[in-house]
Amino acid sequence: MSTHLDVAELATDRSVNDIVRVQGLHKHFGGPAVLEDVSFSLCAGQVHSVIGPNGAGKTTLLNVLSGLYQPSAGEVFIAGRSLARLPPHHLAKLGVARTFQNLKIARNLTIEENVLLGAHARARAGIWAGIFRPPELVRRDSDLSVRARELLQMVGVEVDPQTMPDALSYGALKRLEIARALMAEPRLLLLDEPAAGLNQRETVEIGQLIKRLTEHNITVVLIEHDMKLVMGISDQVIVLNYGRKIAQGTPDFVVRDPEVVKAYLGTNH
């Protein structure tokens, strides 16, 4: 019997409609506030994009949602659970996973082994189990290997799982990182500029992949500068400027907001 959950089972309790709730969030690093009085809620099972000019506070917001930063003030809730004083590594148990703007690939591991790193929270074994390899541990590792290969195929990295990362294109490495994050069985997936550095075809492919994730009840929050991608796949868009939220709504609503046009999109848009 497989030990992994099917992707369709990764959702939070459907009675909890707002998977993320942020109230009066402030973040500063000793100087001016990077985030100032930011509040919003995110509905489960949708794609939510965070956009804004450089320095608007987007990555800081993602770092707060993923537990890397503690708020200077305000509260953050994931699936109804406050993140206050919660160690970052505990967020995996809440179903939170993320990728980073810059690739974080273990170049000395195969692509399958890279994906398996995402299962660290449920693949632990004591020292004696590691030495003697009881049957249940062998079965678990076999199940995880099967799952890793399924996810590689799901994200479109269809090569020998024993391939080394250096043999992959940049776009394939981006999808490899998403596969590794999915190995953690997230209900909330945070993506920091998943299309950065991709060509047009690769951008379309990763957009299609992101949209497919919501069909399996995975909520996606992404930072992205490619407005065509954002407007094409987002259910909701949050716009930051100088650390403040200036708009939130559907792509059609946000793109017509005069303050958004002035601060970010530009009159030519």
Summarize pLDDT for 175-224 with one digit per residue, the tens.
999 999 999 999 999 999 999 999 999 999 999 999 999 998 899 999 99
* Residue 89 in domain: yes
Q: Which residues pair with 38 in a beta bridge?
A: 25
Q: What is the DSSP letter of 261?
A: I
> CATH code at 220?
3.40.50.300
* Residue 98 in domain: yes
Q: What is the DSSP letter of 71?
A: -
Give the count of domains, the chain: 1
The predicted model scores a pTM of 0.86
* Residue 178 in domain: no
Instruction: Spell 44-76 as b/e; 16+ CB within 10 A means b.
Output: bbebbbbbbeeebbbbbbbbbbbbebebbebeb
96 vs 264: which has the higher pLDDT: 96
* Residue 64 in domain: yes
Reading the block at residue 29, the tokens are 């690093």
Q: What is the DSSP letter of 33?
A: E
- What's the pLDDT score for residue 1? 35
- 234 neighbors 240 (Cβ within 8 angstroms): no
* Residue 156 in domain: no
The parent domain of residue 205 ranges over 7-107+188-265
Q: Give per-residue pLDDT as tens, 74-84.
A: 999 999 999 98
* Residue 244 in domain: yes
As a residue count, the chain comes to: 269
- Cα 61 to the center of its chain, rounded Å: 12
- 96 neighbors 62 (Cβ within 8 angstroms): no
- At a CB cut-off of 8 Å and minimum separation 6, what does 133 contact? none
Q: Taking each helix axis as running N to C, give the angle between helix 170-182 and helix 135-154, from 0 to 180 degrees, rounded to the nearest 10.
A: 140
* Residue 258 in domain: yes
